[in-house]
Chains A and B, each alone.
Chain A
Amino acid sequence: MSPIGPLLLAAFLFSAGVYGVIARRNAVLVLISVELMLNAVNINLVTFQNLLFPGDPAVTGQMFALFIIGVAAAEVGVGLAIVFNMFRNRASVDVDDADLMRW
């Protein structure tokens, strides 16, 4: 199997994530976009591992992907808590509303 397909999928997901981070104003949707980017990384890693370096006894790429999944879960937990706290303080999760401090 050629790695082109999965890599293109990963690149597309990553770009969609970057677009989401830039364009979305809702903090929760920004978080979801970051998750898209992280999953693009995971697809990349697993693709490289399985199609380019199948003989690696340490299965480095898949291990890396597992670590990313774990850390991403922790990040989302912390992130949702921060967004939730922000919502309790000002009844909005719009990132544009977070403008108390400029320069």
Chain B
Amino acid sequence: MQIDFIAILPEIVLTVTALLVLAADLALRGDAKQFVNPLAAFGTVGAIVATVVLWGSERVTFGTMYVVDDFAVLFKLLFLGTLLAILGISWRYVAEHRFFQGEYYFLLLTSFIGMMLMPSSRDLIMLFIALETVSVPAFVMVGMRKRDLYSSESALKFFLLGVLSAALMLFGMSMVYGFAGTTDLVGIAAAISGETASVPLLLGSVMLVIVGFGFKISAVPFHFWAPDTYAGAPMPVAAMLAVASKAAGFAGLVVVAFIAFEPVADVWGPMLGVLAVLTMTVGNLIALQQRDLIRLLAYSSVAQAGYILIPFGLARTGPEAAVVNAAAIEAVVFYLIAYAVMNLGAFGVAIAVERRTGLRSIADYAGLSGRSPLLAMGLTVFLLSLGGAPLTVGLWAKFAIIEAIAVDITLFGIVLATFLVVNSVIAFFYYLKVVRTVWMDQAPAGLPQLQPGFNLSAVVVVLMVGTLLLGVLPGLVTDFSSVISIVAAG
């Protein structure tokens, strides 16, 4: 079998970097250990270069298991950009908390290798391996603060729910295999569409596969791990789980739903639409009562997952469905990019405030505007953007979803749009509550000086500029996200 090494070069670069990081950690002693961080960042930049040159080409390797097209490249760039930002916000946090630094960066890179595999997978086995490569290092990273009760508890919860959902998904995959006789996604689609009457057992299996991804994206019946895990995990890991791991789950869901299960889209489409409504409503309503900023961000990320699920609810099957499905995928991709920019920024600010002081309840953010105007400004922009305010990228992200609904207006689409709008209003209530605390309330006396450090400040500034720039010129991303189409391939 011929292997196209150019197509998997980004993954190879990341793998080599991960191993180098592990080796460097052995060689370095004491405070010098923190310099594995720039090493990892260097490797990430290399992987970005290797990915960018793949734009516009269509490469297929490992049989038909692995496809690098524009869809995959866009997702890989999203993951690598997220990785750079997370490396930036973890450096001093990890160095100061006396983590197992080499192991932390190694696991982080390994998890991202799994994410890189996800949008390229065109085979159930590959998808499963990618999903587990994302999850297993994440289980360890969540429990990285070994002597911390919260950390070990959140790791246990995350792990048990993670393996349970993986087992359910595998059972679904095995049934799909038994039905189709192949694990190739295109082959599965062909086998399913050959069936005239829908088979309940097959539909059940399809649902089980979707459950596995539903866990990763923390859609509502499977969201219980998310707030506890985010709150107990080291904060950069929480940022990773909230942004990158969720985007990877969506990448896998897009691939498996729109390629393999496209012929039964009339069944999973409405189901995911209902899940979207539940997810955003439950997430927003519980977020209203949170007093801890990380838990608020956790529930807000559950709600955001609900928004991103809306386009899945629009999916159709049949020959004329390609337009609708393409618009839906485009909305998902654009929302994920916008979400990554604004949510990473919010976590960055939370890390800057929590570091050294350990303060994380919303009341502790009182008077942040006086203590650090930059961080206060950043937090305001990110939270407003998460809510969907004008002049920020969040507005265009929601607009992209409405646009996808408007391609072919149906009653269900209108219902989904209504829920989107109503939920955005609810979400503004708790986002603005934080913003008010930051700007209006008096800071309690005797708080220590905030020292975000150069890396963290740089990441926050870059993400803030990105949020505002994309809010004015969304075309910078949509020019690229609009040309992707994996529907035609399916």
Task: Answer whether residue B451 sits at the interface, using C-beta atoms and an 8 A cutoff.
Answer: no
Interface pair A75/B132, CB less than 8 Å apart: yes
Q: Is B181 an interface residue (CB 8 A)?
A: yes
Interface residues of A in 44-86 (CB under 8 A from B): 44-45, 47-48, 52-53, 56, 60-61, 63-64, 67-68, 71, 74-75, 78-79, 81-83, 85-86
Q: Say whether B178 faces chain A, with CB atoms less than 8 Å apart.
A: yes
A to B contact number (C-beta, < 8 Å): 120
B394 CB–A CB distance under 8 Å: no
Contact check, A44 vs B178: say whether CB atoms are below 8 A apart: yes
Chain B residues with CB below 8 A from A79, complex form: 139, 159-160, 163
Contacts of B175 in A (CB 8 A): 44
Contact A95 B167 (CB under 8 A): no
Query: For B136, B177, B182, which residue has the most chain A Cβ atoms within 10 angstroms?
Result: B177
Instruction: Say yes or no: A86-B164 contact (C-beta < 8 A), given A37-B171, A64-B125.
Output: no
| Docked-complex contact A86 and B153, CB < 8 angstroms | yes
Given contacts A48-B178, A89-B152, contact A103 B140 (CB under 8 A): no
Contact-residue bracket for chain A? 35 or more
Interface hits, B152-183 → A, CB 8 Å: 152-157, 159-160, 163-164, 166-168, 170-171, 173-175, 177-178, 181-183
Within the complex, which residue of A47, A75, A86 is in contact with B152, where a contact is CB–CB below 8 Å? Answer: A86
Q: B277 interface residue, CB < 8 Å from A?
A: no
Interface residues in A4-52 by Cβ distance below 8 A to B read: 14, 17, 21, 27, 30-31, 34, 37-38, 40-41, 44-45, 47-48, 52
Q: Does B472 contact A (CB under 8 A)?
A: no
CB <8 Å contact, A60 and B157: no
Interface range for B: 35 or more
Cα distance, A56 to B178, chains bound together (Å) = 13
- Interface on chain B toward A: helix, strand, loop, or mixed SS? helix
Chain A proximity of B286: nearest CB distance (Å): 7
Within the complex, what minimum Cβ distance (angstroms) separates B363 from chain A?
18
**A56 contacts B132, CB within 8 Å?**
no
Instruction: Determine if B129 and A71 form an interchain contact, defined as CB atoms under 8 angstroms apart.
Output: yes
Which chain A positions have C-beta within 8 A of B174?
41, 44-45, 48, 64
On whether the beta carbons of B156 and A82 are closer than 8 Å, the reply is yes
Determine whether B231 belongs to the interface, using a CB cutoff of 8 Å to chain A. Answer: yes
B29 within 8 A of A: no
Indicate whether A103 sits within 8 Å of B286 (C-beta atoms), given known contacts A56-B181, A67-B128. yes
Cβ-defined partner of A60 (8 Å) among B149, B155, B183: B183
Cβ–Cβ < 8 Å partners of B128 in chain A: 64, 67-68, 71
Are A67 and B129 in contact, CB atoms less than 8 angstroms apart? yes
Instruction: Report whether A17 and B132 are in contact in the complex, using a CB–CB cutoff of 8 Å.
Output: no
A89 to B150, CA, bound (A): 10
- Whether B152 pairs with A103 at a CB distance below 8 angstroms is no
Write the residues of chain A forming the contact surface with B, with a CB cutoff of 8 angstroms.
Answer: 14, 17, 21, 27, 30-31, 34, 37-38, 40-41, 44-45, 47-48, 52-53, 56, 60-61, 63-64, 67-68, 71, 74-75, 78-79, 81-83, 85-86, 89-90, 95, 98, 100-101, 103
9 more CB-based (< 8 A) A-B contacts, given A21-B164, A41-B170, A103-B289? A37-B168, A37-B170, A40-B171, A48-B177, A52-B178, A52-B181, A67-B129, A74-B132, A95-B160
Closest 8 CB pairs of A and B: A48-B178, A37-B167, A44-B174, A41-B170, A101-B228, A98-B153, A86-B152, A53-B181
10 contacts between A and B (CB under 8 A): A21-B160, A31-B160, A34-B163, A47-B178, A67-B125, A67-B128, A71-B132, A78-B136, A86-B155, A98-B153
- The chain B residues found within 8 Å of chain A, CB to CB, are 124-125, 128-129, 132, 136, 139-140, 143, 146-150, 152-157, 159-160, 163-164, 166-168, 170-171, 173-175, 177-178, 181-183, 227-228, 231-232, 286, 289
